[in-house]
Amino acid sequence: MDQIFSMQLLIAALVLSSIYVLVALGLNLVYGTMRLLNVAHGELMMIGGYVAYWAFALTGTGALVSMFAAVALTAGLGGAFYLAVFRPLSRRAALAARLEQNSMIIFFGVSIVIQNLMSLAFAADPRSYDYLDTLIDLGGGRVELNRLVILGVGTAVTLACVGFFRFHRLGLAARALIQNRDAAALIGIDADRINLMVFCLGFGLAGLAGALVSMTEEITPFGGFPYTIAAFIVIILGGLGNLAGGILGGILLAFIEIYGAALTSSAYRSILIYGVFIAILSLRPQGLMGRRLA
């Protein structure tokens, strides 16, 4: 029982919460604005993780610096992908009507391509490095410094995103687009500009999460899938397109996963995650903060 109330367990849950929130926020933005299901989101995380790993391995640059390169690279990929693929498709009425259904197939193909390109370039061997792994005494327990860094960066970026979508003109325009695309178009919001911004931001957040994760976990070309699944569970928990609900869902899922595994066994982590997912879909399919349809 002492383990349940330990500082290490609380920090572990908070750190995982910050990662889940970042990943789900990026995924939810893309879905909310364009109704596109990005099942390649975890692979974008791995790209960010490899940027951080190679920056450290080749130049000794830590993740706190290389994470900016990871964000820039993945955000650039998001912008290029939107301009090259989804903007042309969205402008053709016949294809735009089926874009949501087809997006899963498109992104699934993208995930396979990214996985195999990374595997060819870097091999499938797990990669890791030691960075900021000093133990810090905190509240009667000892926590690695890199975990506190992940928590601090993740929390700061999440709060910055909340402030951006609450107060900035472009953020408010994105929220309007998420709530009602037709009404947003009637009041003059440039949907194409907002879509491009959201793609860059959503992909960039995935790259940032990957760079942060690389400080504490091994990365492989095929290691992004569990994070993609977790992100989908988070946004289902919070409600599709609901950014505030996604944040709440990320925190809830992380605490269920960490404390549930501590109370039972680490072998039950997947059962706990999918059990919560199925329960929410059965009892409240619109999500914890989603609105019921009349």
- Hey, what long-range contacts does 108-115 have (CB within 8 A, 24 or more apart)? 108/39, 108/40, 110/40, 110/43, 110/81, 111/39, 111/40, 111/42, 111/43, 111/224, 111/225, 111/228, 114/40, 114/43, 114/44, 114/46, 114/47, 114/221, 115/43, 115/221, 115/222, 115/224
- 220 close to 125: Cβ distance less than 8 angstroms: yes
* pLDDT the model gives residue 275: 81
**First-last CA distance in the chain:** 45
Chunked mean pLDDT (size 10), the chain, 294 residues:
72 92 90 86 94 95 94 95 87 71 87 93 90 83 89 94 92 87 82 91 95 94 90 82 82 88 77 79 71 47
Structure token digits, residue 128 = 């890791």
* pLDDT the model gives residue 294: 38
Cα Rg, the chain, nearest whole Å: 19
* pLDDT the model gives residue 244: 81
Structure token digits, residue 174 = 């994105």
The one-letter code for the residue type at 217 is: E
* pLDDT the model gives residue 202: 93
* pLDDT the model gives residue 293: 41
Q: Which domains does the chain have, with CATH numbers?
A: 2-124+139-283 (1.10.3470)
DSSP state for residue 84 in the 8-state scheme: I
Q: Pick the closest to residue 109 from 143, 70, 81, 71 (CA basis).
A: 81
Q: What is the DSSP string of 149-171?
A: HHHHHHHHHHHHHHHHHHHSHHH
